[in-house]
Amino acid sequence: MKSKTLTALALAGFAAASAAGFAFAETAPKASAAEANEARFDALDADKDGKVTPEEIRASQAARFAETDADQNGSLSAEELTAMRMAQIEAKIAAQSAKMIARFDADKDGQLSAEEYAQIGKRKTPFERADTDGDGAISKEEALAAEAHGPRGKGKPGGMHGRHHGPHAGEHDGYGFGGPRGGWWDLN
């Protein structure tokens, strides 16, 4: 009975964690692979000499095993492994939640109001992204900066160079007015 209850709770927790992860994946900043590798290296480098030895890796694995082996019987049950994974998932979700609050907490009170929560997942239009000072208009400097960062803010130069097809081909004035969709001039 205890095993079935723990398994059911673990599966429910995993489903909730997965759903939360999908919901927040787009809005929560992600650590780069380099950052994750650096953190892993630092955790394994027990003597902090800037090198990781096989002995340090084995010691880390043994410590993790001992921590997971709650009943200290020298083996890991499904319940112990589930508890370990749930703790890892909970820590990841807690970190994502903290990042979301930092990003969407407009009044900086450490919590998300209903209005702030409603902003999660909403995408700004290219125009709104380009209007960096929030005055409802785009200055020439903002237009040029937006063009340098690309139509979706991805760090790639914008879409006014080269691929103009259809009824507006060649009709832009250098800033995209009347040109193709997808740049800072796009209000949708």
pLDDT of 187 reads 62
Looking at 62-76, 92-106, 165-179, which range is the least confident one? 165-179
DSSP structure string for 149-185:
H-TTSSSS--TTSS---STTTT---SS-TTS-TTSTT
Element (H, E) at 90: helix 78-104
Q: Tell me the two tokens of residue 163.
A: 């691929």
Cα 71 versus chain centre, distance: 36
Q: What is the mean pLDDT of the chain?
A: 75
Please write the tens of the pLDDT for every residue from 58-77.
999 999 999 999 999 999 99
pTM of the model: 0.48
Average pLDDT over residues 83-92: 96
pLDDT exceeds cutoff 70 at 55:
yes
Looking at 47-51, 77-81, 82-86, 117-121, which range is the least confident one? 117-121
Which comes out higher in pLDDT, residue 150 or 42? 42
pLDDT exceeds cutoff 50 at 168:
no
Domain boundaries, the chain: 2-118, 124-188
